[in-house]
């Protein structure tokens, strides 16, 4: 009689995990090396456990918090008093970037929401105007396209890209965790317009980061490989007075989403082809099952308030109620 087949590692690990769920609450589950990576390889797109937001406490002091949307033992920590005076600026590849404004400068901190590890970055090499800057965090492999971002947040290097206006010019600089230092500031040809920090979160498309610029009239493309701003993209005029968020479209292009007459409108930016033609294309209009139709009172009209880069979920808010729209299934949830 042939020997019984060996159990697959995946089944062994699931059985082991199930037995640990009966252990005391303080005993963490023991997973085999590489299990988390294989889990992510199988599921690819990570599940959305919640969202990060900036709230104000009873004393009107800002507090960075995580708001769970599902029950999970892997949910990040909610935050608390240790994050008073801090704001969430960006989150990508398993890391969260927080900031605290000071007189003439800003303090940045990288936070791992699962382990609660925090790393405060060195002071920026140039003073900046309050609120007149924007920032993003990425895995260092995004600059070369050599990382699949499945588990790089655990020990892999990261970059923080900063674009801001000083007292004399607009400049960019990059923090590298490998070098543990900021790069030399590089002045740009950009006018010293208002960048308006935190107005719209950046998105990563390929090797480029896209930032909102000039009161949401323009979008900056920052090439991670070239380490510089390579283009300034004008938004359609009718979008200037609407709330919008930058997104990554289903075919891997940069785009934006906004609400028009209670319908979610998705647009994408078509880069110049061989003929030099470039422009904005309307990709889709989503009517989320009438969920956002309340009445014609402007105070109850839905607004886009965020986008989960890498997950493909748009957040909308109407009064004090949040909704999500999944761009893969177009499913709407309250």
pLDDT in 10s for each residue of the chain, 334 residues: 555 544 433 333 333 333 333 334 444 455 455 555 555 555 556 666 666 766 666 655 666 766 666 665 454 555 544 566 788 888 888 899 998 877 767 899 998 887 888 899 999 988 776 667 889 999 998 888 878 667 666 668 999 999 987 777 788 999 999 999 999 999 888 766 656 565 678 999 999 999 987 666 789 999 999 999 999 898 887 665 678 899 999 888 999 999 887 788 999 999 877 777 889 999 998 876 555 555 455 556 788 888 988 788 998 888 778 888 888 888 888 7
User: What does the alpha-carbon distance between residue 313 and residue 245 come to, in Å, rounded to a whole number?
Assistant: 11
User: What does the alpha-carbon distance between residue 259 and residue 301 come to, in Å, rounded to a whole number?
Assistant: 9
User: What does the alpha-carbon distance between residue 85 and residue 101 come to, in Å, rounded to a whole number?
Assistant: 8
Choose among 49, 50, 155, 137: nearest CA to 91. 137
User: What does the alpha-carbon distance between residue 50 and residue 104 come to, in Å, rounded to a whole number?
Assistant: 33
Choose among 185, 166, 42, 158: nearest CA to 96. 158
- The helix/strand/coil state of 80 is coil
- Measured CA distances, 256 to 33, 44, 138, 238 (Å): 39, 24, 20, 13
User: What does the alpha-carbon distance between residue 68 and residue 40 come to, in Å, rounded to a whole number?
Assistant: 20
pTM as predicted: 0.78
């Amino acid at each position: 009689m042939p020997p019984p087949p060996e159990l697959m590692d995946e089944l062994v690990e699931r059985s082991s995990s199930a037995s640990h769920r009966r252990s005391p609450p303080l005993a963490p589950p023991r997973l085999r090396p590489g299990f988390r990576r294989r889990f992510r390889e199988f599921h690819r797109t990570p599940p959305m456990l919640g969202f990060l937001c900036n709230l104000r406490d009873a004393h009107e002091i800002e507090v960075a918090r995580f708001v769970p949307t599902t029950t999970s033992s892997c949910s990040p920590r909610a935050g608390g008093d240790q994050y008073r005076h801090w704001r969430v600026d960006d989150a990508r590849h398993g890391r969260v970037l927080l900031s605290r404004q000071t007189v003439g400068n800003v303090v940045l901190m990288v936070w791992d929401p699962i382990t609660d590890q925090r790393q405060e970055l060195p002071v920026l090499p140039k003073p900046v105007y309050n609120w007149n800057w924007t920032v993003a965090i990425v895995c260092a492999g995004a600059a070369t396209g050599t990382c699949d971002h499945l588990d790089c947040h655990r020990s892999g290097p990261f970059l923080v890209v900063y674009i801001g206006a000083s007292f004399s010019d607009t400049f960019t600089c990059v923090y590298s965790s490998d070098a543990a230092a900021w790069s030399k500031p590089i002045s740009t040809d950009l006018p010293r317009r208002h960048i308006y920090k935190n107005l719209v979160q950046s998105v990563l498309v390929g090797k480029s980061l896209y930032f909102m610029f000039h009161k949401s009239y323009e979008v900056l493309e920052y090439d991670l490989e070239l380490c510089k701003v390579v283009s300034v993209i004008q938004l359609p005029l009718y979008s200037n007075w609407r709330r919008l968020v930058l997104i990554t479209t289903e075919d891997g292009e940069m785009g934006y989403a906004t609400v028009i007459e209670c319908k979610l409108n998705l647009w994408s930016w078509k880069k110049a082809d061989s003929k030099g033609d470039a422009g904005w294309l309307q990709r889709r209009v989503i009517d989320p099952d009438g969920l956002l139709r309340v009445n014609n009172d402007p105070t109850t009209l839905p607004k886009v308030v965020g986008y989960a880069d890498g997950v493909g979920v748009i957040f909308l808010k109407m009064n004090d109620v949040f909704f999500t729209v999944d761009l893969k299934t177009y499913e709407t949830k309250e």
